[in-house]
Amino acid sequence: MLLQIPLEIVGEVHAAVADETVLITASSDTITVDIPSLRVGLLALRGVGRGKQRSETISRANVVLQLTALSVQFRMAGGTVAILGSAARPGAVSRVLGLAPLDIRLSGLFSLLRSLWQ
């Protein structure tokens, strides 16, 4: 069992990525990253590397989040597409995609796809 040093955070940050604004909010033990488009989401995912490097980066971030009892929710089109940290419960989809411990949320992905087709 890991020793936890729980943090509570509050704040809001606006970040520019590829001429779009990513809103990052924090309240208590949850950080929410609102990704404005699929293009920005894919750029962010590519930004953490590929293959083994991506897996190591995600795992390291997860360890820090677990130690601090924090979670990061990644949202697109009004739905949560992934969670990393203490609230993440990665399942088969995450493992098949090689993204565990990132918890891929099918309901959020379906919401995203639905918004793309409208």
pLDDT band at 87 (very low <50, low <70, confident <90, very high): very high
DSSP strand pairing (20-28 vs 9-17)? antiparallel
- pLDDT in the model for residue 2: 64
Listed in sequence order, the residues at least 6 apart from 6 whose beta carbon sits closer than 8 Å to its beta carbon are 29, 68, 69
Q: What percent of the chain has pLDDT over 90?
A: 62
pLDDT of the residue at 31: 98
The pLDDT mean for the chain works out to 91
For residues 77 and 115, the answer to whether their CB atoms sit within 8 Å is: yes
User: Residue 77's closest CA among 15, 34, 117, 23?
Assistant: 34
Average pLDDT in the 112-118 region?
76
Give the mean pLDDT of 37-49.
88
